[in-house]
Structure 1
Amino acid sequence: MIAQRFDRTQHFDNAQQFDHARWQARLDELRAAHRVPGATLAVLTGGQVHELASGLLHLGTGVEATTDSVFQLGSIAKVYTATLIMQLAESGTLDLDAPVLDVLPDFATADPAATPLITPRRLLSHTSGLTCDFTYDGGRGDDCLARYVRAARGVALDCPPGIAVSYSSVGYNVLGRIVEVLTGQTWDDALKDRLLTPLGLTSTMTLPEEALRFRTAMGHLGADPEPAPAWDLMPRSAGPYGRVIATAGDVVRLAGMHVAGGAGVLAPATVAAMQRREVEVPDKWTVSADAWGLGWTLYDWSGVPGFGHDGASIGQYAYLRVVPGAGVAVALLTNGGGARRLYADLFAELLGELAGVRMPEPFGPPVEPVAVDFSRFAGKYRREGVDITVDADGHLVYEFVGGMKNFSPPLEADLVPVTDTVFAAEAAGASFSDDWMPVIFATLPDGTECAYIGMRAAPKQPA
């Protein structure tokens, strides 16, 4: 067992003894049941970090997963970028409510009227209107983020700034570029110098060649998992929104800093601000979220507040949940198979025992059918990289287009009503690593009808 004492500024009265042998057996059992090739788990409880590993990093080579193995974190990288931004805001270097143009004079969007309304706060809380699935390879040079931000100028917004939430990777790359301009460093170097080194996160990195020093997980695809055709599909310019590689233990140590009120890296008031609700979300099922803070997904588990984030790359899925009142943080890193089901089963047991949390039941159709007129939702919905078609019988086609065309095959599914605006689409075999995909139809404050899938708003197109 690896158990590291975690320095913190608060005490947790309800700390419990962590039964390593029992949780190792449970991790092994659930991982095998859900056909996840390999997984690592880290748990912060009682001021200590406990690390476990199970299965294989690569089914082709048979290399075993160990607690010092590194995985791709996908969108959990956004938490790291948000933390850097909040350091700059805390120091007075950055005003979260001033236009991004104040820092990046060449920043622009496809809507000139919207551009000056976009602020760092809106970028952090996914309310900027900037879209998510715009891919652009800015090259390997130190100017890759500057090139990305320039290339994104002509990309259509999902919605006007400030009126609704729409999950945005583009927005986090703009935040990464802000970090570069204000620190005079690349995003990668700023992350190392300002966050990783002060926290002693020696098994966290941003570049693929850095991962060669470690036992590294390979992603796997399909219900019968097979190694993915490539280890990584992300360019260097994806760093601020999706390219951090780490051990589960290092992920929990980062979360532990937030649990401990900043631990000298951030001020307690800044940590609290990141966990404060900025916007409610219409899609409360994709990651079982209730709201967004500044970088964090926020949860309300039957009155118990928490925060966290999920992440995905090619065949790798990462989950982080934190219950600050109990001093508990849990990170699970996986490399394929039924990762979402492993997360749901394991975290329900862990957080229930260690933090008194009752997690929601997995999303799916209700026991009693709901009668809905599908014709009012029929039509085409579009956002950058994705086309969604819904017919009058409730048949959905979700297709990646443009630069995302080869990301995943089109998904076709019949929508099953959960409520009169919330539907479940069977997503088995898709890239969502789940049984049922939430589809939510909503009308934005400006009257725009949209479909939310993956927390991203796709506006309805004119007939």
Structure 2
Amino acid sequence: MHAALSPAVRGSLTSALAAQRHSGRLPAASAAVARAGGVAWAGADGVVGTSGEAVGPEHAFRVGSITKTMVAVAVMRLVEAGAVALEDDVGMHLPDAPAPGATLAHVLSHTAGLPAEPDGPWWERAGGRSWEQVTRHSTLTPPGDRFHYSNIGFAVLGRLLEVVHGQPWDAVLRDGVWLPLGMTSTGRVPTGPDVTGYAVHPHADLVHAEPVPGYAAMGAAGEVWSTPSDLARFGSWLVASGPRGAWSADDDELVLPVAARRRMCTPRVLRDEPDAAWTAAYGLGVMVWDSERGSGDPVGAAREAETEEEAAHRRRRTAGHGGSVPGFQAGLRADTATGDVVAMCVSSTAGAYDPVALLDVLDAAEPWTPPGEDDGVAAETLDLAGTWYWGPAPFTLRVRRDGLLELTARGGRGTVFAPSREPGAWVGVEGGYWLGETLRPVERDGRTVALDVGTFCFTRSPYAPEADLPGGPDPDGWRPLPTR
């Protein structure tokens, strides 16, 4: 695994970005792709502003609510340090906060019941609110009742960072998140060149410059500026994508342990929209999507011949966040299975853009294949792959591109396992019945004859006699059932 992309692939990404800018009528569009933990491509198309200067990958955009994920990381750092707990009521740390009876986990997952926006004029154009103004709001629903996206909730979390650390929330992010991750182009205000944000007239080729006010106490909900390259680095770190796989010890303790990052990316609540499929969820400051790779792409015609592994991989689970403030939109999407990441920023209030389409371009140019020994997967890990049987039911255990194991039944999404601290064992880290449970290979005479998965016994053939079956095998073995 490495971050290098061929010139042809880089050219395809550049062309796809330009096509999106023109079709979306976007004054400027910039994007970056990361693979194996490093930025593999960055490109930009359009103009910075009325001067006509060409936009480049070094230009910063306001990234809106992607700020929330960065703030959530800083809150999780407090959790890891023992300064706060996710189960703490907000009022324990901020007695004057709205929704004092909601937990920090409720606020991080938008289930505290707080309103989406503060009272008064459109704050994203007119300017933010003071903390005193934020405290005047009350809940719309009981905490934990349902998902309701709330900018006010992240104003509360920004205030929490300031009270605990004794410095502004953006200083906390600068010292604890941005600089350690090499995000030198990220800040509450631009740290280098930046672009102008516009509203584009829907019926004419005209633009209207949008104001860029300060957001005061609402800043933690969406005030950060960044570049796609910085965001792609952040996304790679968030899903722990590195040269040796998602659970490499190299960066386990960098800013936040991998286990805590996994916790952030675990869906907690569905985003339930009327007459829409459940394809999106929210974790702890992280949005999670489930979609189909390359919908409508030409490879779909070949799906009748695909293997079970390929069918399972056709679905794409991504983690990250979207962002939108007047004049700017941004998207950060990290494929949780492959570790590929895309970040895209545009200078338009409402123009259409699709960052995941760039991941589809990458997939089409360099199709996914299951890893082999050449990819650095240990031989003992590969020996675990294949078909296993829980009783008579077949399951497939495959080695993912990131080196993790995924156990599925009949091609459906199952549980993903990462190496455990227990030697030779694995622990469930994503979804499925065995989340948090342990997978242990059972050896006999130097070979693996069974898997103990949270006490469930899996064998290489249905009720294989060489395994120590709980309850024992049928002494007569498999035999025909008499008929009448």
Short-chain TM bin:
0.5 to 0.7
2:200 corresponds, among 221, 233, 247, to 221
Give the direction of change, closer, same or farther, for the CA distance of 1:278–1:225 in structure 2 (3 Å limit): farther
- Which residue in the other structure is 2:80 paired with? 90
- Which residue in the other structure is 1:421 paired with? none
Give the direction of change, closer, same or farther, for the CA distance of 1:190–1:289 in structure 2 (3 Å limit): farther
- Which residue in the other structure is 1:37 paired with? 27
Q: Which amino acid aligns with 2:55?
A: A
- 1:419-438 paired onto structure 2 within 5 Å: none
1:155 corresponds, among 125, 129, 137, to 137
Structure 1 CA distance for aligned equivalents of residues 261 and 68 of structure 2: 15
Structure 2 CA distance for aligned equivalents of residues 154 and 66 of structure 1: 43
Give the direction of change, closer, same or farther, for the CA distance of 1:194–1:14 in structure 2 (3 Å limit): closer
- Which residue in the other structure is 1:123 paired with? 107
Structure 1 residue 13, shift from structure 2 partner: 8.6
Runs of 4+ in 1 over 6 A off after TM superposition: 13-16, 284-288
Q: Say which SS state the counterpart of residue 340 (structure 1) adopts.
A: coil
- Residues 284 and 290, structure 1, Cα contact 8 Å, conserved in 2: no
- Residues 64 and 221, structure 2, Cα contact 8 Å, conserved in 1: yes
Structure 1 CA distance for aligned equivalents of residues 77 and 216 of structure 2: 23
Give the direction of change, closer, same or farther, for the CA distance of 1:280–1:36 in structure 2 (3 Å limit): same
Structure 2 CA distance for aligned equivalents of residues 327 and 13 of structure 1: 11
- 1:169-188 paired onto structure 2 within 5 Å: 169-188=151-170
- Which residue in the other structure is 1:295 paired with? 285
Give the direction of change, closer, same or farther, for the CA distance of 1:173–1:352 in structure 2 (3 Å limit): farther
Query: RCO higher in 1 or 2 (8 Å CA, sep ≥ 6)?
Result: 1
Structure 1 residue 341, shift from structure 2 partner: 4.0
* CA deviation vs aligned residue, 1:416-459 (integer Å, no higher than 9, x gap): xxxxxxxxxxxxxxxxxxxxxxxxxxxxxxxxxxxxxxxxxxxx
Structure 1 residue 205, shift from structure 2 partner: 0.8
Over the aligned positions, Cα root-mean-square deviation in angstroms equals: 3.0
- Which residue in the other structure is 1:196 paired with? 178
2:224 corresponds, among 227, 234, 244, to 244
List gaps (5 residues or longer) in structure 1. Answer: 1-11, 110-114, 358-463
- Residues 326 and 349, structure 2, Cα contact 8 Å, conserved in 1: no
Q: Say which SS state the counterpart of residue 349 (structure 1) adopts.
A: helix
Residue 139 of structure 2 corresponds to residue 166 of structure 1? no
TM-score by length of 2: 0.62
Residue 17 of structure 2 corresponds to residue 27 of structure 1? yes
Q: Say which SS state the counterpart of residue 130 (structure 2) adopts.
A: helix
Which protein shows a greater Rg?
2
Structure 1 residue 55, shift from structure 2 partner: 1.0
* CA deviation vs aligned residue, 1:185-217 (integer Å, no higher than 9, x gap): 11111111111111121100103xx45x41333
Structure 1 CA distance for aligned equivalents of residues 166 and 181 of structure 2: 21
Q: Which amino acid aligns with 1:235?
A: Y
Give the direction of change, closer, same or farther, for the CA distance of 1:218–1:285 in structure 2 (3 Å limit): farther
- Which residue in the other structure is 2:475 paired with? none
Q: Say which SS state the counterpart of residue 319 (structure 2) adopts.
A: strand
- Residues 196 and 327, structure 2, Cα contact 8 Å, conserved in 1: no
TM-score by length of 1: 0.65
2:262 corresponds, among 263, 268, 272, to 272
Residue 283 of structure 2 corresponds to residue 304 of structure 1? no
Identity of aligned residues (%): 27
- Residues 288 and 317, structure 2, Cα contact 8 Å, conserved in 1: yes
Q: Which amino acid aligns with 2:228?
A: A
- Residues 15 and 354, structure 1, Cα contact 8 Å, conserved in 2: no
Structure 1 residue 160, shift from structure 2 partner: 1.5
Structure 1 residue 24, shift from structure 2 partner: 1.0
Structure 1 residue 103, shift from structure 2 partner: 0.8
- Which residue in the other structure is 1:9 paired with? none
Structure 2 CA distance for aligned equivalents of residues 315 and 286 of structure 1: 28
List gaps (5 residues or longer) in structure 2. Answer: 241-246, 293-314, 370-484
Give the direction of change, closer, same or farther, for the CA distance of 1:84–1:30 in structure 2 (3 Å limit): same
Q: Which amino acid aligns with 2:157?
A: L
Give the direction of change, closer, same or farther, for the CA distance of 1:55–1:286 in structure 2 (3 Å limit): farther
Q: Say which SS state the counterpart of residue 326 (structure 1) adopts.
A: coil
Give the direction of change, closer, same or farther, for the CA distance of 1:298–1:285 in structure 2 (3 Å limit): farther
- 1:299-338 paired onto structure 2 within 5 Å: 299-302=289-292, 303-336=315-348
- Residues 340 and 359, structure 2, Cα contact 8 Å, conserved in 1: no
* CA deviation vs aligned residue, 1:317-345 (integer Å, no higher than 9, x gap): 10111112211110010012764345465
Q: Which amino acid aligns with 2:89?
A: P
Structure 1 residue 98, shift from structure 2 partner: 1.0
Structure 2 CA distance for aligned equivalents of residues 17 and 214 of structure 1: 29
Structure 1 CA distance for aligned equivalents of residues 277 and 194 of structure 2: 29
- Residues 42 and 249, structure 1, Cα contact 8 Å, conserved in 2: yes
Structure 1 residue 235, shift from structure 2 partner: 2.1
Structure 2 CA distance for aligned equivalents of residues 195 and 287 of structure 1: 35
- Which residue in the other structure is 1:76 paired with? 66
- 1:305-454 paired onto structure 2 within 5 Å: 305-336=317-348, 339-343=351-355, 345-350=357-362
Residue 144 of structure 2 corresponds to residue 132 of structure 1? no
Structure 1 CA distance for aligned equivalents of residues 146 and 48 of structure 2: 39
- Which residue in the other structure is 1:57 paired with? 48
